[in-house]
């Protein structure tokens, strides 16, 4: 749910230089007009449909990738009603290749809500726009400012970087406290009430352009920046420290035992459940400890003596949220043809040379690749 006035806290006087706060918008607008981007396909229109479509596509996707998709979408769906009426498959097919497919589903749903519940008209405030599927606070503000001249601020990753550097905002922007402070700051520097719609658009576009061009993550081009003389990061050489990086949290270590069950040159792979880690991929049978793994091996026909298996080289795989230590155990058996008949697609014996034809998690593939030479 969108919070109208974000934190209900005023920017305390003296937190930032008053001159910089007051001059920020006019200087950004002047810079955008001189040095910003002006020829993107979704600029120079005030059609909320076209602006909305571009903003959704631009979430997590760069401009050059979006451009051809944007053109195809508009050609096929010139209006929000046309998009709303389209079969889901058509929408998904046109989106194919852009990634983040929940965006496409939300896009379609949003078009239907606008058509069915808003008479085909997009709402004109960020708050109302953010009620729609796939539109959050920042995207809502972007659409409202470009399409309706609303003096509302965006706050995406680019803008957070610019504000953190220019104003010297400390702390990790992913932290709620810091993000709230940035919303307050961003709201306090939007163009004044006298600003024209064109100035409001240039301002929002300027925030995007500055973050995307001069003030990028890697090495900002401070020499060309309109705020170089006031920028805290530039003055202190802390461009690389601002904004503060996500605090490294110690990722949890997990450990799993994997059964490399071999019959000749074939290894047994199990199909994983459709959701969760490696959902739907083919992988080795797993157990939480060595004893449990031995039981699984016996269930697949290994003798008591052989079930513990031969330890292979352990390997570590890093996920976003945890590290996984894999302890492989090699067990050789004679495959059970009857069980294979009855297995219902739950497992398969696959010659090592053919595992590339199966969807196998990268670390498991690596493990199995290591087995090919010596054993054959």
Point out which residues bind DNA (CB under 7 A): 1, 3, 59-62, 65, 99-102, 106, 133-140, 156-158, 160-161, 173, 175-176, 216-218, 245-246, 248, 318, 320-321
| Min separation Cβ 294 and DNA, Å | 29
| Min separation Cβ 238 and DNA, Å | 14
Q: Which one, 4 or 45, has the nearer CB to DNA?
A: 4
Active-site residue, 270 included: no
| Min separation Cβ 7 and DNA, Å | 8
User: Computed from CA positions of residues 53, 59, 60, 65, in that sequence, does the dihedral angle turn out positive or negative?
Assistant: positive
Q: Which one, 220 or 309, has the nearer CB to DNA?
A: 220
276 close to 346: Cβ distance less than 8 angstroms:
no
Asked if the peptide bond before residue 142 counts as cis, ω within 30 degrees of 0, the response is no
| Min separation Cβ 157 and DNA, Å | 3
Q: Which one, 302 or 368, has the nearer CB to DNA?
A: 368
3-state secondary structure the chain: CCCCCCCCCCCCCCCCCHHHHHHHHHHHHHHHHHHCCCCCCCCCCCCHHHHHHHHHHHCCCCHHHHHHHHHHHHHHCCCHHHHHHCCHHHHHHHHCCCCCHHHHHHHHHHHHHHHHHCCCCCCCCHHHHCCCCCCCHHHHHHHHHHHHCCCCCCCCHHHHHHHHHHHCCCCCCCCHHHHHHHHHHHHHCCCCCCCCHHHHHHHHHHHHHHHHCCCCCCCCCHHHCCCCCCCHHHHHCCCCCCCCCCCCCCCCEEEEEEEEEEECCEEEEEECCCCCCCCCCEECCEECCHHHHHHHHHHCCCCCCCCCCEECCCEEEECCCCEEEEEEEEEECCCCHHHHHCCCCCEEEEEHHHHHHCCCCHHHHHHHHHHHHHHC
Q: Which one, 115 or 138, has the nearer CB to DNA?
A: 138
Q: Which one, 76 or 365, has the nearer CB to DNA?
A: 365
Q: Which residue among 34, 55, 241, 270 is the active-site one?
A: 55
Q: Which one, 241 or 336, has the nearer CB to DNA?
A: 241
Q: Which one, 22 or 255, has the nearer CB to DNA?
A: 255
User: How many Cα atoms within 13 Å fall on the side-chain side of residue 114?
Assistant: 29
Q: Give how far Cα 331 sits from Cα of 141, 227, 328, Å.
A: 60, 65, 10
| Min separation Cβ 265 and DNA, Å | 27
| Min separation Cβ 147 and DNA, Å | 15
| Min separation Cβ 20 and DNA, Å | 22
What residues are annotated to the active site? 55
């Amino acid at each position: 749910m969108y919070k109208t006035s974000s934190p209900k806290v005023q920017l305390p006087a003296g937190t930032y230089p008053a001159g910089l706060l007051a001059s920020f918008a006019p200087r950004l607008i002047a810079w955008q007009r001189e040095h910003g981007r002006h020829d993107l396909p979704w600029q120079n229109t005030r059609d909320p449909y076209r602006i909305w479509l571009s903003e959704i596509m631009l979430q997590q996707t760069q401009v050059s990738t979006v451009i051809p998709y944007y053109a195809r979408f508009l050609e096929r769906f010139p209006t929000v009603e046309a998009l709303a009426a389209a079969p889901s498959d058509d929408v998904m097919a046109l989106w194919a290749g852009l990634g983040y497919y929940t965006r496409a589903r939300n896009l379609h749903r949003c078009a239907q809500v606008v058509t069915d519940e808003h008479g085909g008209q997009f709402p004109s405030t960020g708050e109302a726009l953010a009620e729609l599927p796939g539109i959050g606070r920042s995207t809502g503000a972007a659409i409202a400012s470009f399409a309706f001249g609303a003096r509302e601020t965006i706050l995406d990753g680019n803008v957070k970087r610019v504000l953190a550097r220019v104003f010297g905002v400390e702390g990790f922007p992913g932290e709620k406290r810091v993000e709230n402070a940035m919303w307050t700051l961003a709201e306090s520097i939007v163009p004044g009430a006298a600003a024209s719609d064109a100035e409001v658009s240039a301002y929002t576009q300027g925030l995007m352009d500055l973050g995307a061009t001069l003030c990028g993550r890697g090495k900002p081009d401070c020499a060309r920046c309109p705020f170089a003389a006031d920028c805290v990061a530039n003055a202190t050489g802390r461009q690389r420290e601002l904004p503060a990086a996500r605090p490294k949290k110690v990722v949890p270590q997990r450990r799993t035992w994997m059964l490399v069950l071999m019959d000749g040159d074939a290894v047994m792979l199990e199909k994983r459940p459709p959701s969760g880690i490696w959902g739907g991929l083919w992988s080795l049978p797993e157990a939480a400890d060595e004893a449990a793994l031995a039981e699984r091996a016996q269930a697949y026909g290994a003798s008591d003596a052989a079930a513990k298996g031969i330890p292979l080289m352990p390997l570590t795989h890093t996920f976003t949220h945890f590290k996984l230590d894999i302890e492989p155990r090699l067990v050789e058996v004679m495959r059970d043809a009857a069980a294979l008949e009855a297995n219902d697609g739950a497992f398969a014996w696959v010659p090592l040379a053919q595992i590339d034809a199966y969807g196998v998690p990268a670390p498991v593939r690596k493990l199995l690749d290591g087995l090919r030479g010596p054993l054959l």
